Amino acid sequence: MKNAIAAFVSGTLFGLGLALSEMVNPARVVGFLDVTGAWDPTLLFVMGGALAVTMPAFPLVLRRAAPIFSEKFYLPTNVSIDPALLAGAAMFGVGWGIAGFCPGPALAALVTASPTAVLFVVSMLAGQWLTAKVRKQ
């Protein structure tokens, strides 16, 4: 139960941060990517703020023996760059640029009932399902 409460509080805080910074607005993201037109640096400041907190905090957190609500840290172990990673990163970037959403802000934007957000999330889930089916073969 503690894990569920921690996940709910963390997710709520993340969603509120995305809403407050207007990162649930695809126009903000598309404006950030429009470097030759009406460039909007808002996303740069949001990322910078996140890095300013994360960079010093990450090593401090990893000094602990384990997270508060888990028996161990689950850190990535795969460091190889393969074609599947590159293809996935390219599709993520193109989709982000076209739609103005990435998964976190899209999920947070669902509370607005925006048809764009709903379509993006449904498409994202369909893509995840399809990827799982293809990888099993």
Q: Is the pLDDT at 64 greater than 90, yes or no?
A: yes
Contact 29/100 with Cβ under 8 angstroms?
Answer: yes
Intra-chain end-to-end CA distance of the chain, in Å: 36
Please provide the average confidence, as pLDDT, over all residues in the chain.
89
- The CA distance from 18 to 123, in Å, is 21
- Position 137 confidence tier, pLDDT thresholds 50, 70, 90: low
Which among 32, 28, 8 has a CA at the least distance from the CA of 19?
A: 28
Total-model pTM:
0.70
Report the 10 Å Cβ neighbour count for 17. 15
- H/E stretch holding 88 reads helix 83-99
pLDDT of 63 > 90? The answer is yes
Tokens representing 10? 């963390």
The pLDDT of residue 18: 85
> 62: pLDDT confidence band, cut at 50, 70 and 90?
very high
Q: How far, in Å, CA of 103 to CA of 23, rounded?
A: 11
d(CA 125, CA 104) in angstroms, rounded, equals 13
